Chain A
Amino acid sequence: MLNLIIKDFKTMLGSKQNLYQRVATAIFTLVFFCAFIIVELFLFRTILKQIGNINGAKESFLTVFLFVTTIILTISGLFNAKRLFFDNKDIEQLSYRPVSNTQIIVSKLAYLFFIHCLASLIFEYPLLVAYGQLANRAPIFFFKCIFYPVATFFFQMGIGLMLVYPVWLLIKFLKKHFLIELGFSLVIIFGLALCYSYVLDVFIKLVSKNGLVLLFSEEAIAKVISFRRFAVPVNFLLDIFVNNSKLSFLPFFAVSLGIFGMGLSVAIYAYNYVRNISLTPAKTHKKRAYKPVSVKKALIKKELALITKNSNYIFSFTGLLIVQPLLLTFVIRSMNASLTAGTLQYFTALIPGLTSYVDLLFIMLFTVIINQGANNYITMEKRTIKQMKTMPVKFSTQLFIKVSIPFIMSMISLLVSVIALMASKTVPFTTGLFGFIISACLLFIFDVVSLWEELSIRHLRARSTTFSSLISYLLPFVFAVSAIILSYLKVPNVLTILGGLLMIVLVGIAPVIVIFKNSGKLFLDLEAIN
């Protein structure tokens, strides 16, 4: 049983990174979690202090925060369960081992329980502690709340397990139907982008008109208080943990176990079913007629297929490229609104180019960060590196096509974004023009450096992203900060921007030349996988 649990941990958390990268990832994750918790607690405590005097408001805001985390943890639990129960490799391995079904299910549930409790302790327990402090609760409250994650497990995981099979089926269906998957993905991405823009717009309008205080208006607080009754199951849990309602305990526990039971039944049934169909031999694919095409055309087709037909890329690259104009317009518009309102307008008055430079920074960051989704040129080949190295096509041609496809796609998206920004009068013509030129230069340098990092991948030495990260983050920030300082010192904007462009070109030109020179050797040194 213990071995099974360890195996599940390895399946879920294991990676191909070396020790150094694992430590780095762990540190980054830790910092990310810490930062998240600090922000979460800061917001929560600020709100609670603001509304502390209103009867029932503290509990209601606690409900809201816990409800949001509950939704996130339920979705997270759902996808964890999906990976855990329906991992083909895992199913295949276990099918040949003398392990009972019960043991497999129990080990998976143990893993889910552990992860859920850990996440709940990280994200929810601090909220309860903060509330307890501000509400002057007795020490027993803080002890009791340690068991909050356990209490939430059955209800949340029950929901997750009930949905795990339908979600798995949906994803499987989508993967088989490219166009539907693309459409579905785009709908989701557009939906999320529109939701984001709506929330951002409302927030900025409130803030830029000094109306954030309205978030704490009695009317708004009354709405939050009335929301509490809909926030199932958090409202019941708070009755138990905060209001010490013993009456709520048994009904909630019974309902939770009921939901968990139903979820578990669905998951066990689905697991057994999927295990059986996984072992059935796959159907043979239809043979397609061979159409001879030119080498370059075939390579371009292959690269396009890699990027567009892979569901990972749809979400992390292609889809984002499509919504980039929309997202960028909303983000920059909101940034401009922020910079010309409240206390920041003083700084805008003192630094005439502040708005333009912040706009340029965001254009650059969006361009390169979205492009990061498709810059694993060699990694994406997996087992086909051998073919790359042996095929009678010049390496330069192969690499050129590999880099240029995502580069051109990013450039088109950048161009459309800049046109959208200028057409919607979000940025002036000069900012749009320079935004395009600078971002294009940065993107080019970034792609070349990324290629070099990819070509440098060796056995036991995973890709190092240090240099490309410096290019994608540090360079835009250095540019923006320097430009802001120069603007403060009243250096004309055009001179500043041209200087910044020159800086980017100078920083990028040396590695680009070196990489071009060494790319042949690096390509030859690539290790093929059998």
Chain B
Amino acid sequence: MKKNLIILLLIPFLISTLTIVTVNLTYNTVDVDISYIDWDYDDIEAFKLTDTPYPLTARGVNNRHVDVGKGNELTWTVSNTDDQQEPNARVINKDGKFYLETIKDGQVEVTCSNLKGNVSRSFTLIVYTNGAIIITSRNPQSAYGKVDKTQYYGQFDIINGQKQNASFDIMVRLIPESLSTANPQITCSDNISVNLSFDNGEKSGGGYTTYGTVSINNPGQSQIAVSTDIVDMQIEGGNYAFTAVKDGVNVYDYEQLLYCTNRSQSGEIVVLQTSFESYNTYLNSGTPYFGYANGGGKFDFNTQNGSIYSFTTKYNHEYLNQWNEARPDNQVQPNVLAGLRVQKDFYGNGYQINFHNLAYPSSTRVEGDVTIPTLSSTDLFRGPLPFYTVGTPSASSGDSLNIVTAYGQDNIGLYIDGDNITVNDLKVQNCDDVNVFAFLDTVGTVVEVDGDNVTLKNMRMSNGKNVLRSFSSQNLVVENSMLSNARNFLFITGANEYVVADPVKNYNFSTPNGGVNGTIGEFLRAESVANNTLNDYLNGKIGSEYDYKTKDQIKTVLNQLQTALSKDLTGQYMGSTQIVDCMFYRSGIASVAFESLFNGPFLYSSQLPTSIATFLQIFNKNFMPSRISGTSYPVTVNVSGNTKFYDYKTLDNLDVSGLIDENISTLAQIIGKNYTIDQIFPIKSIIQADAVYYQDEQGDRYINLPFAYYGGGQNCSTLTFDGYTDNHINGRINENGILDEDAVKRVDLLDNYLDLPVVDPVGFLGQILPPDVVESMGIEVDENTLIKTVTIVTGYEPFKFVFNKGDGYLFNESPKIEELQANATPVNIVREA
């Protein structure tokens, strides 16, 4: 008896192990670069003019200590920052070691970067013969370098939770130390005051150093200068300039950051004075980390203490509404989380905000030789909300095993919530660099814009499922910015608003048995012509022995049905974006995507086609939502200036598995079948023929896909290239900046699906479904039926793609920070509300 009882008690353990799901990830590896450059130089240095070159030393650091790819060796450059034409110094490379040779007095900027040029750091160097005066803030500049060279300070500091006039510490160093006896004087612009004495400094290293405090009394351009009585010889340096931002609040720690963002009702203008890093980087560099640590590298984020901002998704969540009403015991709250809610201007000063501690899975597991990030139960960022689920929806990717989930809005790192906001020179990423983009599946969107007249300039945004998302935001300007490393798209845009199919409007449907005139609802009734049409489509019943004799005949009716589900919203833009001088670097699918809602007949009426309704009712547990989708309003994007696309990939590496969460392949594994996302959602195979390739010397073919129109519903968004000077788009752009129609590759899913043959009269579904269900579906089911079933849900408006020419332009190249710096313009500091 005891043995039997023990066995009985062990059964739950054994049964539960059967529920384990093996998630197959696609491991498309990408090269990882160094995260930053570490060195011992101050922001401003002074080297005496000499014939002996100065050795230059620095090291590239990857904050995860992973092996970096090619092109990450460090190199040095130098350029004058004064108005001298002749170089003040130059860099010499001797046996792989770098030295700085001083040539003449003056100021230079010494820059260290990786060979790729996408990571760099600079310091100002004063080359002097007689003497130099260094004035610098005691708050070190960003280790990532600045794009906008202007140094910004806010008008206010936060002290004990109160805003007070800002002040910051400076250091003045006189070289040689004898300058301290030459009656040094400090002067400054009217809007600031400096409290500094030359009497109590300290002598060291041949110089004289003293410290003081700068108080900001009023906003505006600010100058500090130090001079001496010496007039007969040239003293270099002696100036320090910055911009005091009106109403800006300096942020030196996480509490202050939250004060200005999540905890503020209307927000504060943030002027960042430090980076907020991942815990790993903190351990390496000591830079403050993002979030409240509660020991052992774990973090505590919650809405109560304002460390996270939560809001109801603005994307279509009609499905979730209907689900929550039907299943009050198993609700999925339609809430989106954001790491920071920005409501006013944000000055990054080149510092970084890394949301890794919040956004990245906090656990890992090892499979073979791959360490895979794994969500633990306390992680908050768990993937996008479901827009529609076949099966049981869940607010977390992978938490429950759904058949198919189409995604809605994702969680966000930096959420820009409001109108007329400028975010300048901020480096932002949702996690540390990864070498597999699939690891970005649950980290969310890096920056989301939700407001009109928002400007993002001099930005570096990277490492997200999507990097930048803008829905229903007018006049977004993305200027002189770099977007890199996206699981799906570097910039995705669309509209939250949509129009549901008109239920009372009459349409004509030309069926084989004559025309049918009626509303969409009447047409979509069970046992109607539409039902038979869809069943014939799913079953491939097209030919002389069937109702539909030709593919064109059935395609006409299917298109009429899709038209009736859609509404022509051409020109009714709900969002607009100007992309100016930007760099797009490495996406999983495409650089820029125009999204429209999935809008298949099944989303309008889940009772039809009856065959699929019978099948899906089982998995939806009789929850059959209706009229949950519609036609998205269009948006427009204009690309201009020197916008560049460094987004080459082989077609094999184009990975659409991040677009939908599917477990059809898992289900198939139960009966020993292998399916891939590319069979279920065959975008890759469909665009293969129309893609524009660049072939490298080894004969490998690459695509560079800057633009994709994605979503099965009607997509009326427009793309223009007005003022685009770095044009390598495959196709002619006319004088109005409009791309020729034939340059847009249209992938008609319907054409493709109609060509799919009947594979097996029983096939996949026949093996897993009860016979009565297969019989009641009334169709023969095979794997192609299943694939076509996806279109009944998504809709079958063509997907559109715009390729770059196959000329190899920028192939194997990376965006250069230097270019961003050269192109940077400072922010207009006084912005009237």
Contact = CB atoms under 8 A, between A and B. Distances in A.
Given A207-B16, A327-B9, A213 B770 contact: no
Contacts of B398: 210
Interface stretch (B265-273, B361-369, B646-654, B707-715): B361-369
A208 B667 contact: no
A343 B401 contact: yes
A350 B377 CA distance: 29
Counting chain A CB atoms within 10 Å of each CB, the highest count among B365, B367, B401, B772 belongs to: B365
Contacts of B667: 343, 346
A372 B16 contact: no
B8 interface: yes
Interface stretch (A47-55, A147-155, A178-186, A302-310): A47-55
Q: How many A residues touch the partner, as a band?
A: 35 or more
Nearest to B372: A213
Interface string B3-42: 1110011011101111111010000000000000000000
Contact of A343 (B364, B399, B666): B666
A170 B666 CA distance: 55
A205 B400 CA distance: 12
B366 A204 contact: no
A343 B21 contact: yes
B4 A372 contact: yes
Contact of B670 (A50, A211, A213, A343): A343
A316 B374 CA distance: 43
B772 A217 contact: no
B365 A214 contact: yes
Contacts of A373: 1
Interface string B612-650: 000000110100000000000000000000000000000
B366 A218 contact: yes
Contacts of A207: 16-17, 19-20
Contacts of A331: 8-9, 11-12
B823 interface: no
Contacts, number: 132
Nearest to A473: B4
A67 interface: no
A218 B772 CA distance: 47
Given A350-B768, A369-B5, A217 B17 contact: no
A183 B666 CA distance: 51
B84 interface: no
B621 to A, nearest CB: 7
A212 interface: yes
B759 interface: no
Contacts of B768: 346, 350
Given A341-B400, A350-B770, A373-B1, A196 B9 contact: yes
Interface in B385-411: 391-392, 398-401
A523 B559 CA distance: 84
Contact of A349 (B3, B4, B619): B619
A212 B534 CA distance: 41
B8 A365 contact: yes
A17 to B, nearest CB: 16
A211 B377 contact: yes
A208 B392 CA distance: 14
B619 A216 contact: no
B401 A490 contact: no
B182 interface: no
A338 interface: yes
A112 interface: no
A210 B368 CA distance: 19
A212 B772 CA distance: 35
Counting chain A CB atoms within 10 Å of each CB, the highest count among B17, B20, B364, B770 belongs to: B20
B93 to A, nearest CB: 39
A162 B334 CA distance: 62
A187 to B, nearest CB: 19
A341 B20 CA distance: 8
Contact of B366 (A50, A338, A345, A365): A50
Counting chain A CB atoms within 10 Å of each CB, the highest count among B17, B19, B619 belongs to: B19
A488 interface: yes
B16 to A, nearest CB: 4
A489 interface: yes
Nearest to B620: A349
Contacts of B619: 346, 349
Interface string A320-354: 10000001000100110111011111100110000
A489 B8 contact: no
B16 A208 contact: yes
A209 B367 contact: no
A366 interface: yes
Contacts of A346: 401, 619, 667, 670, 768
Contacts of A366: 8
B801 to A, nearest CB: 34
Nearest to A221: B366
Given A349-B618, A365-B8, A344 B18 contact: yes
A336 to B, nearest CB: 10
Contact of A210 (B12, B367, B371, B399): B399
A342 B20 contact: yes
Contact of B399 (A209, A334, A344): A209
Contacts of A338: 12, 15-16, 18-19
A346 B401 CA distance: 8
A216 B20 CA distance: 14
Interface string A360-372: 0010011001101
B2 interface: yes
B769 interface: yes
A203 interface: yes
8 contacts: A203-B16, A210-B401, A214-B363, A331-B11, A334-B12, A345-B400, A369-B1, A489-B772
Given A335-B11, A341-B19, A369-B5, 11 more contacts: A53-B366, A54-B366, A211-B376, A213-B374, A214-B365, A214-B376, A216-B366, A343-B666, A349-B391, A349-B619, A373-B1
